[in-house]
Amino acid sequence: MSSTLSQMVARRAYFSASIEELLSASTEEVLGSLTRDSEFSVEPTQRDAWIQQLAVLQEALPGFKGRGRAYFEFVVPRLGKRIDVVLLIDHVLFVVEFKVGEKNFTRSGLEQVWDYALDLKNFHETSHAVAVAPVLVATRARGKLGAVATTQHNDGVLCPITVSPECLALCIGQVLLFCTGDKIDPLEWEQGRYKPTPTIVEAAKHLRSSGRLAPRGGRGLDVATQALIEDEAEQALVVTVRALVGQMFTRRQNLRVL
């Protein structure tokens, strides 16, 4: 990996590794990288959360050695927030959010992981054409594995899947069987730019030209997104797109908490 690409990946994820590297990594090694690259001071609660996330993944992923890569704290293009873990395994992109210390699955948790999955699908260039599986893990839940299913929109994003830690490997296996597609190349995927799908871009341009949404420059953008989008005109479009998609998300059907 070139130094330029390595720096770009580092800006988007605090830690990344192949699955086999992740399985052999020590807790201290992973924590060191996460802490070093974090934009903020790391509280003990965040440190403990990373430790538990790593433990769950190292227990769940041995059957998937040589088949993908993991990214901790991956930036969400539109929202400027960070996904707990993104897993690229075979032909599926898994968006994994952990609720550490929780045994129940809440509506807000489901909406959060679904929003993150939709953002990658619609705003991350190399995620447009791949299957995306949002997965919500409650670390104190036991014996829980939600159904694997598509939404009525059939947009390549699965319905959010609720899962307890000991069922995560089974969940991943079921999703891989359920979805079809070409194997994802991690190096190619990592080079994906912030790029809304053509449908969303055209809708945003229409709103801007009509005067209903007319942001200026990058006003309102978070630092992480501005770092990825240097052109002021593109930043203005991003702000418009955020407003448009925010409206779309508020009209989304209610989720049933499984």
- The identity of residue 62, as a single letter, is P
Q: Where are the domains of the chain?
A: 3-190, 198-250
Tell me what pLDDT residue 239 has. Answer: 58
What dihedral do alpha carbons 250, 252, 256, 258 form, nearest 10°?
-90
Least confident of 76-90, 141-155, 211-225, 235-249: 211-225
Nearest of 135, 139, 142, 143 to residue 110 by alpha carbon? 135
21: which 2 tokens? Answer: 């590297």
Task: Indicate the SS3 state at residue 197.
Answer: coil
Residue 193 has pLDDT above 80, yes or no: yes
Give CA 175 to chain center in angstroms: 16
pLDDT in tens, 29-68: 999 999 998 877 889 999 999 999 999 999 999 999 999 9
Report the distance separating Cα 95 and Cα 87, nearest Å. 7
Tell me what pLDDT residue 211 has. Answer: 57
Report the distance separating Cα 82 and Cα 112, nearest Å. 11
Query: How many other CB atoms sit within 10 Å of the CB of residue 74?
Result: 23
Query: How many other CB atoms sit within 10 Å of the CB of residue 65?
Result: 14
- The identity of residue 218, as a single letter, is G
Task: Calculate helix-pair angle for 44-60, 27-37, nearest 10 degrees.
Answer: 130
62: which 2 tokens? Answer: 């041995």
Tell me what pLDDT residue 182 has. Answer: 97
Tell me what pLDDT residue 39 has. Answer: 76
pLDDT: is 37 or 182 the higher one? 182
pLDDT in tens, 63-119: 999 999 999 999 987 777 899 999 999 999 999 999 999 999 999 999 999 999 999
Count of residues in the chain: 258
Q: Say what the pTM is.
A: 0.79
Query: What's the mean pLDDT in 174-180?
Result: 97
Report the distance separating Cα 196 and Cα 207, nearest Å. 15
Residue 222 has pLDDT above 70, yes or no: no
